Amino acid sequence: MSSVSPVIGPVAERRERGATIAGMTGLIAVLVGGLAIGEPYPAFAALMGMGFTIAPWATRRYLCLPLPWALTAVTAVVTFLHAFGILVRAYDFVWWWDIMTHFMAIAVLALVVNLAVLAIGKRYPEIAIEPRRIPLVSLGLAIALGVLWEVLEFLFDGLLGMTMQYSLSDTAVDLSIDILGAVSVAVLVPPFMAKLDEDYGMCELLIGR
Amino acid sequence: MSLSWSSPVKSNLATRLRFIPPLLLFAAAVAALVPVPGGIPYWPLAGLWATGLAVFTPTALGNALARPAVILAVLLAMPVFGLLVGSAPALQFALLPPAAFLLAVLTLGPGLVDRPLLRYGLAALLADGFIAVSGLGLYYLDRIAGTELVPTNDALMWHLTAGLLGVGAMYVLSAGLALRRET
């Protein structure tokens, strides 16, 4: 196995560690900033972001499931931009902020779904899906999760009196961006699926089993 | 010689009757295209999808997919009968998610994905995609053509919420039945 693999090896692990530390540092800053000005929502978003950012490292370490370091980096950037955007009210003042974070978030989500479906298929061959079909499955799942997100926002607004959804056009644009992000990943990811497929099943190299 | 319900007779009968499910579906699909006063705008889209299936895959609908095709035909025809008691719009709203799920099951078919649980899972994703894309499609049609098919955020969100819940329920039901058959 080459040391420049995006998944296995010291270079990939070093990059993953670097991206995790950078992301966690930014998110801790947002957390502290949110608490300092008495705003719970950005602090909560930062905490959630920390969980997402550390997930690839934890997955590699404890579930024997290596993920590409680039995924960690993109996740760190997206979660930071989301939490930071809430803290400085970029969602209210920068018209493209919502579009940017939605697109990046759904792209990360679709990538995660691709990897998760691939990894689950490796562990449980009886429910494995052919690698060439996985991007289509992830497209469907990403759209479904985008819809679920909007439905949850709608329910929170209705039940708790929050204002997570601003207008019909806001919801429609969010959903459109979700679908665009998911389609982009479904179009771009297939050439990498074979390589990722090869790289999985490396448990013994990761934890010496 | 008495006529018993033997396997060859049954098979012969099945062969003779296999034109019925696609024909029923075609008739119900065409009925779904007819505008209903106060009806939901997504219903004719489901009718259009069903018409395509009945026209392009009649053989499959008459064989392995006969049962879901007939159930779908009944679902698509119910709002027409609902017109008599004035409940057609409510019926359309309630029946759209199951109809979308069955349309997705028929579209994927047993040939494409042979494992039932996976097939129903993919069908649920496809049906949910239809719900989302149809909502967005009509929203953009409103913006372009000045119509009012999706007038408010609530209208879109109720469509998406009912779709998500209904399709999810159909998946649980279908997967549960498939598991029961396997065990």
Q: Could you tell me which residues come within 8 angstroms of residue B111 by beta carbon, excluding any fewer than 6 positions away? A: B60
How far apart CA B6 and CA A157 sit, in angstroms, is 61
pLDDT at position A3 is 44
Residue B47 has pLDDT above 80, yes or no: yes
Across the interface, whether the CB atoms of B139 and A168 are under 8 A apart is answered yes
pLDDT at position A199 is 61
Touching check for A127 and chain B: CB below 8 Å? Answer: yes
- Option in A127, A129, A151 nearest B157 (CB): A151
Touching check for B162 and chain A: CB below 8 Å? Answer: no
Q: What percent of chain A has pLDDT over 90?
A: 33
State how far Cα A185 lies from the chain centre: 12
Locus of tokens 């007779």: B9
Touching check for B123 and chain A: CB below 8 Å? Answer: no
**Which segment of A26-35, A111-120, A137-146, B105-114 scores lowest on mean pLDDT?**
B105-114
Contacting A residues, span 73-112, partner chain B, CB-CB under 8 Å: none
pLDDT at position A11 is 80
Residue A201 — very low, low, confident or very high, per pLDDT cuts 50/70/90?
A: low
pLDDT at position A1 is 44
Q: How close does chain A come to B118, measured CA to CA in Å?
A: 8
- Give the three-state DSSP class for A176: helix
Residue A8 has pLDDT above 70, yes or no: no
Label each residue of chain B as H, E or C: CCCCCCHHHHHHHHHHHCCHHHHHHHHHHHHHHCCCCCCCCCHHHHHHHHHHHHHHCHHHHHCCCHHHHHHHHHHHHHHHHHHHHCCHHHHHHHHHHHHHHHHHHHHHHHHHCCCHHHHHHHHHHHHHHHHHHHHHHHHHHHHHHCCCCCCCHHHHHHHHHHHHHHHHHHHHHHHHHHHHHHC
Can you tell me the mean pLDDT for A190-209?
61
pLDDT at position B6 is 56
pLDDT digits 0-9 by tens, A45-91: 999 999 989 988 887 777 677 778 888 898 899 999 999 999 999 98
Residue A29 — very low, low, confident or very high, per pLDDT cuts 50/70/90?
A: very high
Residue A2 has pLDDT above 50, yes or no: no
Residue A209 — very low, low, confident or very high, per pLDDT cuts 50/70/90?
A: very low
Touching check for B161 and chain A: CB below 8 Å? Answer: yes
Locus of tokens 């929502």: A41
pLDDT digits 0-9 by tens, A171-184: 999 999 999 999 99
Across the interface, whether the CB atoms of B153 and A150 are under 8 A apart is answered no
pLDDT digits 0-9 by tens, B125-152: 999 999 999 999 999 999 999 999 999 9
- Give the three-state DSSP class for A128: coil
Touching check for A159 and chain B: CB below 8 Å? Answer: no
With residue A147 as reference, give the H or E element that holds it: helix A134-160
Q: What percent of chain A has pLDDT over 70?
A: 88
Can you tell me the mean pLDDT for A132-145?
88
Residue A207 has pLDDT above 50, yes or no: no
How far apart CA A202 and CA A194 sit, in angstroms, is 15
pLDDT at position B3 is 46
Touching check for B122 and chain A: CB below 8 Å? Answer: yes
pLDDT at position B5 is 52
pLDDT at position B30 is 95
Average pLDDT of chain A, as a whole number: 84
Higher-confidence position of B82 and A7: B82
- Option in A137, A140, A171 nearest B153 (CB): A171
Q: Are B120 and A136 in contact (CB under 8 A)?
A: no
* ipTM reported for the complex, 2 dp: 0.84
- Give the three-state DSSP class for A117: helix
